[in-house]
């Protein structure tokens, strides 16, 4: 009987998947990754200097003094079987050349949205639709920002009814975790529907 208990326990390595966090400048991508990462996040933040005047539009976020110049990177284990690697994209147009490499192999994406600047997330939505990357839109809460019903936001975005919209507070770990769970559930549902349609 003891021989049964002496057998080594076999562990299965968790599945690792890549998730992209995107959206406009100053919408909260770095905060999102930092709030949830179980490791010290890799942040490529650089000071915004006078050299960027006329290139980067700081008007929407006047107090912002740093910007992501390459990517943000973090990791979160949703459970023993699933590990998510988070890649935050830079928000400025001049870093758009990095997107193809950051998005390659991604399971899905989160597009963060500030309701004061809805138009800032259009490039990200267009990119993911064009490249057929599953995504959801997370309406990030900012103090003092007007609150809208999600269907009002959907109408303003003009996105398909199948694209999930969720509320989010990028400063709060549980809120961010809820967004990531919603994305993984959406991707899984799409995969299962595609498989069912193939038979």
Mean pLDDT, the chain, integer: 82
Question: Does 4 map to a domain?
Answer: no
- CATH number for 141: 3.40.50.300
Question: Does 156 map to a domain?
Answer: yes
Once rounded to an integer, what is the mean pLDDT over residues 137-166?
90
Q: Give me the number of domains the chain comprises.
A: 1
Measured distance CA(42)–CA(72) in Å, rounded: 6
Question: Does 28 map to a domain?
Answer: yes
Question: Does 5 map to a domain?
Answer: no
**Structure tokens given for 132:** 């057929």
Q: What is the pLDDT of residue 151?
A: 93
Question: Does 8 map to a domain?
Answer: no
Asked if residue 1 has pLDDT above 60, the reply is: no
Q: What is the pLDDT of residue 74?
A: 93
Q: What is the pLDDT of residue 193?
A: 81
Range of the domain at 109: 13-198
Once rounded to an integer, what is the mean pLDDT over residues 7-12?
60
Q: Residue holding tokens 């769970």? A: 181
Once rounded to an integer, what is the mean pLDDT over residues 172-178?
95
Going along 5-164, which residue ranges are E strands? 15-23, 42-47, 66-79, 82-88, 108-113, 135-140
Measured distance CA(108)–CA(142) in Å, rounded: 24
CB-based burial of residue 172 (10 Å sphere; 0-12 exposed, 13-18 middle, 19+ buried)?
Answer: middle
Band of residue 9 on the pLDDT scale cut at 50, 70, 90: low
Predicted TM-score (pTM) of this structure: 0.80
For residue range 56-67, list pLDDT tens digits in order: 555 555 555 555
For residue range 65-90, list pLDDT tens digits in order: 555 555 888 999 877 888 999 999 88
């Amino acid at each position: 009987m003891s021989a049964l208990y002496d057998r080594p326990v076999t562990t299965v390595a968790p599945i690792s998947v890549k998730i992209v966090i995107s959206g406009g400048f100053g919408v909260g991508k770095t905060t999102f990754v930092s709030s949830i990462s179980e490791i010290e996040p890799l942040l490529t933040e650089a000071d915004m200097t006078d050299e960027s005047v006329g290139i980067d539009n700081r008007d929407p976020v006047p107090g912002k003094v740093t910007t992501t110049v390459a990517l943000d990177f973090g990791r979160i284990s949703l459970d023993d079987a699933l590990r998510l690697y988070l890649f935050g994209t830079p928000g400025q147009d001049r870093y758009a050349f990095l997107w193809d490499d950051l998005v390659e192999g991604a399971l899905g994406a989160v597009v963060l949205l500030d309701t004061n600047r809805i138009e800032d997330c259009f490039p990200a939505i267009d990119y993911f639709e064009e490249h057929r990357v599953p995504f959801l839109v997370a309406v990030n809460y900012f103090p003092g920002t007007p609150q809208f019903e999600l269907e009002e936001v959907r109408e303003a975005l003009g996105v398909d009814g199948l694209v999930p919209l969720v509320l989010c507070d990028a400063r709060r770990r549980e809120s961010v975790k809820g967004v990531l769970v919603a994305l993984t559930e959406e991707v899984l549902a799409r995969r299962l529907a595609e498989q069912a349609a193939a038979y």
